[in-house]
Structure 1
């Protein structure tokens, strides 16, 4: 749950709105920078997704991507 809002209060009943966001949504709140050395795109993606608790994903890259120097 990423948000809670009181929508209506009529003295005997309260109506709330809850916002549910997927795990990757939290990645947009981060403000860190880093360099991934000697890693390919798939490894970098797996690292970032795992750090944000996204475990159920399948890489579907069309071409092999070599490791990048930096």
Structure 2
């Protein structure tokens, strides 16, 4: 499953919509997607959403779409 993870780069500041970023990640479950991001970054995760079907196809058309892969 592909997940879109909305996050703030800094955990010390209050979240602001203008500073929200997103990354795309493949993981078996939302819980595992969260664990991967938490283990490999200092990001403040706001929201994680599963994307598939037409939504995934739409996101993949964006030139900034890129699956993030973390190495152990």
TM-score over 0.5 for the pair: no
With the length of structure 1 as denominator, give the TM-score of the two structures. 0.27
By percentage of residues, which structure has more strand? 2
Q: Which structure's CA Rg is the greater one?
A: 1
Greater relative contact order, per chain length (Cα 8 Å cut-off, separation 6+): 2
With the length of structure 2 as denominator, give the TM-score of the two structures. 0.26
By percentage of residues, which structure has more helix? 2
